[in-house]
A and B are shown apart, each in its own frame.
Chain A
Amino acid sequence: MKSNASVRRWWYDERIRGVIFQVIAISAVGFVIYSAVANALNNLEARGITTGFGFLGDQAGFSIIQTLIDYNETYTFGRTFVVGLLNTLLVSALGIVIATFLGFFIGIGRLSNNWLLSKFCATYIEIFRNLPLLLQIYFWYFAVLRTLPTPRESLSLGDSIFINLRGIYFPKAIPEAGSGWFIFAVFVAIFLAWCVYKWAVNRQRITGQTFPVLRVSLALLIVLPSIEILLVGVPFHFEYPVLRGFNFSGGLTVIPELAALLVALSIYTAAFIAEVVRSGILAVDSGQSEAAHALGLSQRRTLKLVVIPQAMRVIIPPLTSQYLNLTKNSSLATAIGYPDLVAVFMGTTLNQTGQAIEVITMTMAVYLVITLTTSILMNIYNRRMALVER
């Protein structure tokens, strides 16, 4: 009788059940992983594919249409990884900047008292949020950029910017001997502007007088490098794109794949950012703007000084998640041939080497690192910005 009772108690003890359950969970997961790895090794051996990261040192043998660093067919597969990664970072950075500006503009326009502007922004948001991103990319690439004229009949802006089927051509600034001084002057101007800002904030705290910091900083940024140019001479010369035969040479090229991807990504993400901004501004208590109006602040100054600083606290976490979505969505470049990380490494290199597991693991690891770093930074920011309530 007594032994029966103690056995029953042992079965029903919560801690012991917890331990048993966890042991079962770990062994189940471990078994699944073990059998998966064993199967994978067997299958790879059966197909004659070697494992290991040695393939990264082999010669690549294919070219890439856009590389931010030196690259040609004789470089290694490891180099293609770096080229693809840089292209992904380029498109993500540009996309984030454009999408933020566009999104903020549309989000604030959605809340305007002008009925037409508000409906226009609402229509924009409703259309571009409900269309798949791949469809938008295809539309911009096939239906818009493919209908541009040939290089011989390109649209040109002032004979220096050319838009045609092969891409968008800009003049390139080539630094000459004295460019070091120019960059030094720019950095000095930025540093001085920061000092002026700190001094102005301190003075406002003590005396209450405001100071036109933005105008003074802009003046500094223009005057100091101009003085440098007057003293030493223009340190840049522009290389204009020139039509030679069937194509343009010289200058800076934006390939149509990059242009289409950038436009589609920015427009799509801007619609989501607009909703985030709108919900952030609406989350600020209406009493704040009423109090600001009672103090006689105009609508613009209320927005700038009272509403938006408080709204930023609500906006920033979902805004970062939209930035991460943009970075992950840039992987759709595979569909139109823009050589980003997924297209170059997980597409071409995987096809050439057949090392599926290593290649896919490396690619996923890159995205994991980007996302986890951003999440950790976001958590730190949130903890610092959290409202300290009593």
Chain B
Amino acid sequence: MAIYSTTEQQPPPTDTGGFITWFRENLFSSWSNSFVTLLLLYITLPWIWDLLSWTVFDANWIGTTRADCVKEGACWVFIEQRFGQLIYGFYPQHLRWRVDIVFALLALSIFFLVLPQVSSTIKKYLGIFVLVIFPCISFVLLHGGVFGVTEVETHRWGGLMLTLVLSFVGILLALPLGILLAFGRRSKLPVVSSLSIVYIEFWRAVPLITVLFMASVMLPLFVGGDINLDKLVRALLGIIMFQAAYIAEVIRGGLQAMPKGQYEAADALALTYWKSMGLIILPQALKITIPSLVNTFIALFKDTSLVLIIGLFDLLAIGQAALSDPQWLGYSSEAYVFIGFVFWAFCFAMSRYSIYLEKQLHTGR
């Protein structure tokens, strides 16, 4: 029988929780870690302080002209003076209430669509409203020309309004086309699948700038007769054809992720191809792919800034135009920081929502 000798009982660790322990474990756990922490603090703290003082503490918020920017920091007076143009573009000032109504409707519907407490039947009706009724209302309000509403031509649209119109209409019309292409790619008919594959691979291979150039320069040549296509319509056509290819790939991923049992069950119920796709497969596939669709929307939202190249005045282009005003030379940083913040706020919110959706759908299944 072995004889065991007891060792000294060690005192308990001094702390297992609390502030100091967190510091020790996460920031200073080893020599290299401590070095990295100190280096990062040395680099980032002065930089953050400079940024804050430029943006907030030393900035000029009040005034009307360039002479009011006396402090060293950012001259937000410039942005305040140009705010109307940045948001509404060249829309006539007395008619801007129409754009406000469209913005408010969009914001409210998206708010209620996103809120988790809202029941899913209400969300379904809200979805149909956003996809079908809202575009008609916003066309009447924004463009006018029908029902006795004053017409505002599209070359007066600009700024944030134009960016939202381009992205929203782009996704709205690219979605059905993308769904058709996704089905076409998976089809057993060789002609349909090859046409879909050629379309998808072509539009995914070319940069968006060449597509916009093609739409604005070549499209008038292909359309016969005296049809003069609006510049905005040309850009929208290019964007829609381009986005449809990316949406087709996203939906194809969703269709592939569906268990084969669904397809087989639909066949067992003797449903025709279109009925089984429309009633059984597509609703489930769309539900799975909504996070990826939101990511596609974020990419489109950022890419609409490229219409600057073909002469449309989206948010970034209006900012560039504002910078060439001789009264406000030299304030390029303010313009870019503001425009960047607007884009960042939209895209960050959407990406957070898509992460939230992904978590919901995972636990839900």
Contact = CB atoms under 8 A, between A and B. Distances in A.
Interface in B211-253: 213-214, 217-218, 220-225
A115 B28 CA distance: 10
Given A115-B26, A335-B308, A368-B205, A40 B221 contact: yes
In the A-B complex, list the 6 residue pairs whose CB atoms are closest, starting with the nearest: A39-B224, A130-B347, A371-B205, A328-B207, A115-B26, A22-B191
A206 interface: no
B191 A139 contact: no
A266 B223 CA distance: 40
Report which residue of A135, A334, A375 has the largest number of chain B beta carbons within 10 angstroms of its beta carbon.
A135
A360 B210 contact: yes
Contacts of A36: 222
Contact of B221 (A21, A43, A130): A43
A361 to B, nearest CB: 9
Interface of B: 26-27, 29, 33, 36-37, 40-41, 44, 188-192, 195, 201-202, 204-210, 213-214, 217-218, 220-225, 298, 302-303, 305-306, 308-309, 316, 320, 323, 332-333, 336, 339-340, 343-344, 347-348, 351
B213 A26 contact: no
Interface in A121-140: 126-127, 129-135, 138-139
A258 interface: no
A139 B204 contact: no
Contacts of A342: 207, 209-210, 213
23 contacts: A18-B188, A21-B192, A25-B195, A35-B224, A40-B218, A43-B220, A113-B29, A114-B29, A116-B27, A126-B348, A127-B344, A130-B298, A130-B344, A131-B343, A132-B343, A134-B308, A142-B336, A146-B332, A331-B207, A342-B207, A357-B218, A364-B210, A367-B205
Nearest to A28: B195
B33 to A, nearest CB: 5
Contacts, number: 142
A138 B205 contact: no
Contact of B340 (A22, A117, A135, A331): A135
Contacts of A38: 224
Given A115-B27, A117-B36, A134-B306, A22 B320 contact: no
A138 B344 contact: no
A350 interface: yes
A283 interface: no
Contacts of B217: 350, 356, 360
Interface in A288-346: 328-329, 331-332, 334-335, 342, 346
B207 A120 contact: no
Contacts of A115: 26-27
Chain A interface size band reads 35 or more
Interface string A101-121: 000000000001111110010
Contacts of B224: 35, 38-39, 42-43
Contact of A117 (B40, B204, B305): B40
A331 B305 contact: no
Given A130-B344, A360-B214, 8 more contacts: A43-B221, A117-B40, A135-B343, A346-B213, A360-B217, A363-B210, A367-B205, A371-B204
Nearest to B190: A22
Given A21-B189, A130-B344, A138-B316, A113 B33 contact: yes
A287 B91 CA distance: 60
Contact of A120 (B40, B206, B298, B320): B40
Contacts of B302: 130-133
Contact of A131 (B40, B192, B344): B344
B255 to A, nearest CB: 19
A342 B225 CA distance: 29
A332 B209 contact: yes
Contacts of A174: none
Given A116-B27, A135-B305, A367 B207 contact: yes
Chain B, interface SS category: helix
Nearest to A32: B222
B187 to A, nearest CB: 9
A26 to B, nearest CB: 6
A60 B44 CA distance: 50
A40 B222 contact: yes
Contacts of B220: 43
A29 B195 contact: yes
Interface in A362-381: 363-364, 367-368, 370-372, 375
Contacts of A133: 302
Given A114-B27, A331-B209, A364-B214, A356 B305 contact: no
Given A25-B192, A40-B221, A138-B320, A368 B210 contact: no
Given A35-B224, A132-B316, A367-B205, A138 B214 contact: no
B340 A131 contact: yes
A360 B213 contact: yes
A368 B206 contact: yes
A44 interface: yes
A143 interface: yes
A87 to B, nearest CB: 15
Contact of A364 (B40, B201, B206): B206
Nearest to B202: A368
Contacts of B333: 143
A254 B302 CA distance: 29
B192 A22 contact: yes
A133 B305 CA distance: 9
Contact of A26 (B26, B191, B305): B191
A297 to B, nearest CB: 16
Nearest to B336: A139
Given A117-B40, A132-B316, A44 B214 contact: no
Nearest to A139: B336
Nearest to A360: B214
A360 B212 CA distance: 11
B260 to A, nearest CB: 18
A351 to B, nearest CB: 10
A373 to B, nearest CB: 10
A38 B225 CA distance: 11
A148 B223 CA distance: 48
Contacts of A370: 205
Contacts of A18: 188-189
A135 B218 contact: no
B137 to A, nearest CB: 28
